[in-house]
Amino acid sequence: MIWLTADKIAGAAEKASVVHRVGDIVEYTYSYASPLGELTLASDGVALTGIWFTRQKYYAATLAEEHEEKLLPIFAETSRWLDLYFAGKEPDFTPALAPKGSVFRKLVWQILLTIPYGQVMTYGEIAKCIAREMGLEKMSAQAVGGAVGHNPISIIIPCHRVVGTNGSLTGYAGGINTKVELLKLEGLDMTQFTVPTKGTAL
């Protein structure tokens, strides 16, 4: 299962609260040492709610103020996924995901999940998909860029696979160098991309 429905998340979280909740703790974290730097994983006790590079922009932006570090089954599963990924393999499963955000952002993140391993999609292409989904004539690529940038589950929801017009590697909360390394890890030919300059179009 890639994405838990609201009903399933609510039901599972209610059951988990009996087992995992301690005082006011409503969210949990776990550290994962990746080849590109330490990652902080977050969970509501059932599904994954965040993966952030320690020094990235919007670090832990959706993490509950009250949280504790604890190894949970979802963290063990996510660590297994990351082990495969950083070994240069495409994982054949996806941990349960429950990213926190607006309806619009979640729609963008759902589209990101459809981008195949080793391939990229432009902000403009995502904007067209969103426009179709919402029954609109067009959608702003800049609005899509904002949603992509605020993706709370790095790597698994692959915002690093989104590029600007003409292959510009514009925008990545974890930093352009990290984005380059992730794309190289997936076997992409980096000569087709350009490093962004100020004002590069999405």
The domains located in the chain, with CATH, are 6-86 (3.30.160.70), 103-192 (1.10.10.10)
pLDDT band at residue 86, thresholds of 50, 70 and 90? very high
* 43, 27 Cβ separation under 8 angstroms: yes
- More confident position, 197 or 141: 141
Averaged confidence pLDDT in the chain: 85
Look up the pTM and report it.
0.83
The pair phi, psi for residue 194, each rounded to 5°, is -125, 150
pLDDT of residue 9: 32
**What Rg, from alpha-carbon coordinates, does the chain have?**
17
pLDDT in tens, 112-168: 999 999 999 999 999 999 999 888 888 988 899 999 999 999 999 999 999 998 888
Task: Exactly one of 156, 159, 163, 169 is catalytic; name it.
Answer: 159
Whether residue 17 has pLDDT greater than 50: no
Calculate mean pLDDT across residues 38-63: 93
Whether residue 170 has pLDDT greater than 60: yes
The pair phi, psi for residue 129, each rounded to 5°, is -65, -45
Alpha helices (H) along 60-199: 73-86, 103-112, 123-134, 141-149, 176-185
Q: Which residues are CB-neighbours of 180 under 8 A, at least 6 positions away?
A: 169, 190, 193
State how far the Cα of 108 lies from the Cα of 151, in Å rounded to an integer: 9
Catalytic residue list contains 129? no
pLDDT of residue 16: 34
- More confident position, 108 or 10: 108
Task: Provide the token pair at 110.
Answer: 């759902």
Calculate mean pLDDT across residues 80-95: 97
* 76, 30 Cβ separation under 8 angstroms: no
State how far the Cα of 28 lies from the Cα of 34, in Å rounded to an integer: 19
Strand, coil or helix: what is 66?
A: coil
